[in-house]
Amino acid sequence: MSGYSSEASPERDLEARVLRIADVLIAATLLVFTLPLMIFAAMAIKLESSGPALSRRPEVGRCGRQFTALRFRTTALTPFAEQGLGATWDRVARGTTRSGEFLQYSGIADLPLLVNVLRGDMTLVPNIPKIRRLAKWAVWVIVALVSGALFKGAFGA
């Protein structure tokens, strides 16, 4: 008989909820602040090449669950890009656009993944104990600050 139970403990359930709250708060805040940058990136992609600004790619998440990852499209819709020529240093042979090269280099191409975080497909808080403790601590601090501000506003203290 193994030492694991089939039911999640209340402590683990609370930890999962706190980490999910941390994911949602961080992702929503980042989305709000990066929205103008994301709009600019989408316009640059649309100006440089035809087709959608976002690419959708199937990915496998925790427990083998499949989801569709959203990223900014960084390649042109050309026969070269569709052939998947493998590793090459030539931007044109790979089908990468000029804006796509910058988006990949700067990491802006991955900003739409924040939507996947809000959906619950991904997490921003990795499974590293120190980082998880820090994230839980940050959520409790935010909750305390918000509840203190609400309490103060409600009672005029």
Q: Report how far residue 112's alpha carbon sits from residue 16's, in angstroms, rounded to the nearest whole number.
A: 23
Cβ–Cβ < 8 Å for 93, 80: yes
Whether 63 maps to a domain, the answer reads: yes
Whether 46 maps to a domain, the answer reads: yes
pTM of the model: 0.64
Residue 61: count of CB within 10 angstroms of its CB: 14
Burial of 97 (0-12, 13-18, 19+ CB in 10 A): buried
Domain that holds residue 72: 10-124
Whether 91 maps to a domain, the answer reads: yes
User: For 20-54, what is each residue's pLDDT tens digit?
Assistant: 888 898 899 999 999 999 999 999 888 888 788 88
Alpha carbon 89 to chain centroid, angstroms: 28
Whether 157 maps to a domain, the answer reads: no
Whether 89 maps to a domain, the answer reads: yes
How many domains does the chain divide into? 1
Whether 131 maps to a domain, the answer reads: no
